[in-house]
Structure 1
């Protein structure tokens, strides 16, 4: 591949077809060049073994590790399973490339696997496989709007003592005696506009009461897509989808207690949960005296644990989190110690960092268990007998990447904090069923995974289970991404990212830069673990970045302010500020890299992303045109009012404010200065492709030049993870070669020489 500099007035040829072919086939050519690179394991129910997938020459294999004799064995007969699954799916499968990454074991010894959107059950005796029945549960769009065109799962709920069962009939609860089938109790107030949800029924432990949600349906908004080129030919097809958007009326769930013996309904007032975005599933206290649920207020600024007395219906505020910005509900875990509501392990960012607290369930007082400038990520296990908590966290270990996940143990009184993981890497721990042992799988982008079996009591090593071998990959010329750190806009906070160089990198040249962007607040996105294609989220992203780089670019990915797993102040940058996407921090990171490396050309920076990343990519051209010169935006949200209420109302707030206009690529389309390739799949069922058309309309009305591709039959992954993947990747490569390198691309419509 010849990479040259643009000569004034001359047409310069860019990468040839062979170079493109090398980049487009990078994944296929290199994904099988590692050995014994393991995925996270799953324990057997008896705790005597665990199984996992690992790479092997030219494919993958599933193995079981026996804890007693410390020996590996095949998890099943791969050849027979390939034939059985092939017969069930109507395809021919390779035994060393089975199309799933994990499996679960049933009580009869069969295994269940998921392929695409379907589940299959396979006998490990006969090796016959059959498609598992689909879930009977009613679809709930983004957890806030039930699809009432689909019947709810009305499977009878049996009481713990086995005497009764509860179902719904004509929108009401019906309780029957299992002894003679007689109706013990029936509600009379259910209706289509205020119905009892059978999927929410929960019996009290003493079998005397039922807790259930009564539901007032929200607004059944529908959006439409036209399948213009059906695969079977013929006329276009109209596809209708139930799709709530920002500001829509959502389902209103209201908890109800049905006292079977007293034949009465106990219904609390909603003074403590008046304007719910979402209520959690109902949970009974162990003594059947009360039930509890969490309330996430619309607008996401209040999050509350509510307890309802089962006899009186009195609702009580147990613990409440409030914020001037957001309370990030997805990681607000809690644990009711003993199930009686007296001690509750609670997570909170009230001191500026996400930490563990012990709440007194009677008066709501909190006692902090962990503290410091680091983040608790999740509660992994609560050992009530030993009064200890096992949790995952990041940022506590100084001198290493603050995003590396580690595992710890702490006592209920906050004493005795100790680490279960110590290596300078990202750790993924799986506890044995009896919680006495754990498997620790750890890696870095520059270090293949190591799997160890250890004891919980003291963290001592029992045995090393796996150590990945990447010698063949290294021999093929692979180089790990460089981890690079620069200061944020405040001059203090470290911003982390990676730099990927082309395979024939020459430090004497200057390279244009392409940034891969996803600036959402629900996670961080720069890869932290080893990247073995498909073994974990982000693996293929790294391959895609390397494929771009090999055509003569520096490719980077950066976690700017507003992403997750740092302080609350760091996270809050995204609030009512989605259009920014942490870009001021990322630009400073780029400039720091250019100050260190002469080959890093910040006068030619492009950016690409999909979904929110697509919104971010176009937003970079609209809001920061002095820095970004070209963007490819896939399936972008672009105007958050037209998207689902979940994360849009979370980050931009509700009720609606001018923050929506400030972040809208539709409203701000007239500001376009750089070069844009706008891509959308016509059947995107995640983000309505109409919003990309609205961007195009606004650009046309503003007289702006841009390129646009509508992908027939393309979904939300069009251009990123689904077919026609190579075609769209090639178009993206072409776009950046032309716009950032100033070079011509192959004449693809002509036959190759």
Structure 2
């Protein structure tokens, strides 16, 4: 039966009373209002108890000076460092500065609470955190004699001699691509996955292409005029049809990148003599400033086979240009009814573009045009017959040809293709093939780090390429002339996690690695340097933790910052040539936090299903933990193959501490099928997302229970959002002997119903029986435990019909369950952050007690979200 958990007293109070009558020895007093209150107050209680924590490094121009923030009781201090001298001091007089800013802005500020946007970032370019609207970062200007910052939409400049501040203009608009894109290559916005706090499908903020570091190798892009999306791929929905008009981009579309706000109408050649444009779906050319009409370069364009200005690219000598023509595929739309819009009483109807697995794709192919002869040469398609995507064309700087990258439908073949500018002949420079999947997102930091990396050395005479061909993610050096591998650069039973920098002159690569240090958590990142020939492997960091490094402009110095879930950030300044410590910067102090009763999660390791591989996870216990009691266990699951998800960084309050306070042990586990380990570890997910690493997770739980008598695996609950929503419900359906209660939020419960790029990546193409085997819809009849299904009416990430189809299947199977369908809510159902639905469900069905009656009592509204 499908009901609302909150609104079903006649039916469900009886059920809850029945569960409450089940004996639960040693659990008296748990799940009470006092427990909820304690969890609710954790953030406020922990505030200011961790001090001296160093923030991101901010190098000042082309100097050896940098500044960073230091968390102190009551706010933030700013520290200025002279790396060459090995000294540090207060960056400015914060008391005087607060007075000057207060006077200039007509808003009161204090010395430790200055209006500077919070910073985040890896490498040498810290940046404002996403969501820091109408602000601009703190920067030192005028030879460090003044600072500049933005607040409330205005820029201010303050002298550090006279401490006078003045408004200098508006905050400039950020150069970036907003919105939710269609693939892991797109810039993704941070968007919480509801109460669990996981990022949407594991994606996190990436800088726009214009800000990319060496890992993006955007320096080789000619920029006239093809727009290369973040992942170096592009085609499909979102093409400009018929010139500047008709731009479309929808969630799930295959154009790997975002269109600019206004598509350009023409594309000028490098020599400034010509402009190319699209007219009547064809490519036209005319002289700059000329009065004569343009001449067509193509004649086969039509609405069903159009050319796109966005993919048009001039050769550096302006003698040739290449453009793609596209045959449109199936334009799927999802329809929404917004039942309770804010601006009117009547519901609203909207649609979005959303490609799903198996849909027919837009197909784009390049054509080469000669400016002098006005002739088009069609490029043979033999090397790229069945594209999922082909990237925008990028010319070699010497004009000998251009390259694009071909991702074959099914993601098992990926080829870097070169086209000769004179003959239009194609050849494969690099061909990557796998029997499972090629994770085509760019190698880089964060949860969504993919496995593709390419860096062209000396205009492509050599190419650095990443591959898992030997079972681990490693770097290879290719001869760009012959297309042959010259040598493997990195090697071993560990993986490259990110390329930080490539120095062509010295023939060296700096990269983050995981699993290289024996005895350390294999998910921790350490920085190394190596020569192109694979020799000279040098360790740049060594402390037991996950590291972030930031280099000075000349790479003479670097800061090394590391942390763990039980260790607040520690930062040092080092010299790059010999890795010697110049000075200790700051070390987070958690003594006041632990004195107040806070405890850090425990890192727990057990063997996987193969009996050999280590599975890593964390255990969070209540602050009033009593080992003489028995505690039900709740697993917070996100098992998406695009990343690894067990927390590795420090937080004053553990992510699930508030839930644990109710009387639970809460755990995170990275089972097989997730990323950032070996290729074999990752491949468990191939055509089998229903596995979700459960055989490993259950063994991990059993190992914990064998060690800790209070760890009660007879009462195990599970919750998750998005892909975690699919996995959490799957745990109860496929493993009912172990998982008894589930709260599933915004789940993509059938991979045929969800976005194409994510699901075909792991489940394969063409569609086959594996999709039904992993489907929570097709397997809904298996339900034995208790299930609460949470759905956001306006979910634009995962089609909400995916959850409703589970509901339909459960009803047909005569299964009883609960559902919360919340009007107006998007993915993750943010409104749950101030409600107790999820926690109450576990209190009822795992603790067997009645939670507080929230219609009669409530927690304070000011920081209600802190406890949920």
TM-score, normalised relative to structure 1:
0.89
Q: How does 1:11-50 map to 2 (within 5 A)?
A: 14-50=30-66
Distance 1:80 1:694 in 2: 60
Cα deviation for residue 633 of structure 1 reads 0.4
Distance 1:574 1:94 in 2: 52
Distance 2:36 2:823 in 1: 24
Q: How does 1:68-147 map to 2 (within 5 A)?
A: 70-73=88-91, 96=113, 101-102=118-119, 114-115=130-131, 122-125=154-157, 126=167, 128-130=169-171, 132=173, 141-142=182-183, 145-147=236-238
Match in the other structure for 1:494: 614
Cα deviation for residue 42 of structure 1 reads 4.5
Match in the other structure for 1:333: 453
What SS does structure 2 have at the residue aligned with 1:522? coil
What SS does structure 1 have at the residue aligned with 2:53? coil
Cα deviation for residue 100 of structure 1 reads 5.0
Q: How does 1:147-162 map to 2 (within 5 A)?
A: 147=238, 148-150=246-248, 153-154=263-264, 156-162=266-272
Q: How does 1:384-533 map to 2 (within 5 A)?
A: 384-531=504-651
Query: Is it true that 1:731 corresponds to 2:834 in the alignment?
Result: no
Deviates more, 1:695-704 or 1:708-717: 708-717
The alignment of Structure 1 onto Structure 2 pairs a total of residues equal to 726
Cα deviation for residue 690 of structure 1 reads 1.1
Cα deviation for residue 254 of structure 1 reads 1.8
> Could you tell me whether the CA contact under 8 Å between 1:266 and 1:311 is conserved in 2?
no
Deviates more, 1:373-382 or 1:430-439: 430-439
Distance 1:83 1:197 in 2: 53
Query: Is it true that 1:742 corresponds to 2:861 in the alignment?
Result: no
Q: How does 1:550-565 map to 2 (within 5 A)?
A: 550-565=661-676
Query: Is it true that 1:595 corresponds to 2:595 in the alignment?
Result: no
Deviates more, 1:480-489 or 1:739-748: 739-748
Match in the other structure for 1:350: 469
What SS does structure 2 have at the residue aligned with 1:123? strand
Structure 1 5/56 Cα, relative in aligned 2: closer, same or farther at 3 Å? farther
Structure 1 655/74 Cα, relative in aligned 2: closer, same or farther at 3 Å? farther
Distance 1:563 1:577 in 2: 12
Distance 1:613 1:254 in 2: 37
Deviates more, 1:111-120 or 1:29-38: 111-120
Query: Is it true that 1:261 corresponds to 2:372 in the alignment?
Result: yes
Distance 2:52 2:292 in 1: 60
Distance 2:73 2:180 in 1: 42
Q: Deviations over 1:506-555 (max 9, x none)?
A: 1111110000101111110011111257xxxxxxxx32x11111111111
Cα deviation for residue 752 of structure 1 reads 6.9
Distance 1:522 1:644 in 2: 14
> Could you tell me whether the CA contact under 8 Å between 2:358 and 2:767 is conserved in 1?
yes
Structure 1 600/313 Cα, relative in aligned 2: closer, same or farther at 3 Å? same
Cα deviation for residue 157 of structure 1 reads 4.2
Match in the other structure for 2:71: 55
Gaps of 5+ in 2: 1-18, 122-126, 137-152, 158-166, 184-233, 239-245, 249-260, 442-450, 860-868
Distance 1:33 1:395 in 2: 32
Structure 1 95/115 Cα, relative in aligned 2: closer, same or farther at 3 Å? farther
Match in the other structure for 1:538: none
What SS does structure 2 have at the residue aligned with 1:124? strand
Query: Is it true that 1:320 corresponds to 2:431 in the alignment?
Result: yes
Distance 2:842 2:711 in 1: 16
Q: Deviations over 1:203-256 (max 9, x none)?
A: 323333333333323322110122111123411111211111111122222223
Distance 2:367 2:60 in 1: 38
Distance 2:454 2:820 in 1: 46
Cα deviation for residue 456 of structure 1 reads 2.5
> Could you tell me whether the CA contact under 8 Å between 1:33 and 1:58 is conserved in 2?
no
Cα deviation for residue 15 of structure 1 reads 2.5
The structure 2 residue matched to 1:365, chosen from 448, 463, 484, is: 484
The structure 2 residue matched to 1:204, chosen from 300, 306, 315, is: 315
Q: Deviations over 1:476-513 (max 9, x none)?
A: 22211111100000000000000111000111111100
> Could you tell me whether the CA contact under 8 Å between 1:563 and 1:570 is conserved in 2?
yes
**1 or 2 for the larger relative contact order (CA 8 Å, sep ≥6)?**
2
Distance 2:502 2:637 in 1: 37
Match in the other structure for 2:731: 620
Distance 2:771 2:849 in 1: 38
Q: How does 1:623-642 map to 2 (within 5 A)?
A: 623-642=734-753
Distance 1:416 1:100 in 2: 40
Deviates more, 1:25-34 or 1:4-13: 4-13
Distance 2:98 2:664 in 1: 41
Cα deviation for residue 564 of structure 1 reads 0.7
Q: Deviations over 1:560-600 (max 9, x none)?
A: 00111111110000001101100000000000001111111
TM-score, normalised relative to structure 2:
0.78
Distance 2:714 2:262 in 1: 57
Q: Deviations over 1:80-104 (max 9, x none)?
A: 88999999xxxx9999386953389
Distance 1:628 1:382 in 2: 48
> Could you tell me whether the CA contact under 8 Å between 2:297 and 2:374 is conserved in 1?
no
Cα deviation for residue 466 of structure 1 reads 2.9
> Could you tell me whether the CA contact under 8 Å between 2:31 and 2:847 is conserved in 1?
no
What SS does structure 2 have at the residue aligned with 1:115? coil
The structure 2 residue matched to 1:306, chosen from 410, 414, 417, is: 417
Distance 1:691 1:84 in 2: 53
Cα deviation for residue 336 of structure 1 reads 1.3
What SS does structure 1 have at the residue aligned with 2:611? coil
> Could you tell me whether the CA contact under 8 Å between 1:453 and 1:465 is conserved in 2?
yes
Distance 1:119 1:216 in 2: 43
Distance 2:615 2:504 in 1: 39
What SS does structure 1 have at the residue aligned with 2:119? coil
Q: Compute the RMSD of aligned alpha carbons.
A: 3.3
Distance 1:686 1:624 in 2: 27
Distance 2:24 2:513 in 1: 56
Q: Deviations over 1:373-397 (max 9, x none)?
A: 1011122211111111111111111
Distance 1:63 1:679 in 2: 46
What SS does structure 2 have at the residue aligned with 1:329? coil
Structure 1 422/155 Cα, relative in aligned 2: closer, same or farther at 3 Å? farther
Deviates more, 1:706-715 or 1:509-518: 706-715
Structure 1 25/619 Cα, relative in aligned 2: closer, same or farther at 3 Å? same
Structure 1 549/211 Cα, relative in aligned 2: closer, same or farther at 3 Å? same
Gaps of 5+ in 1: 105-110, 534-541
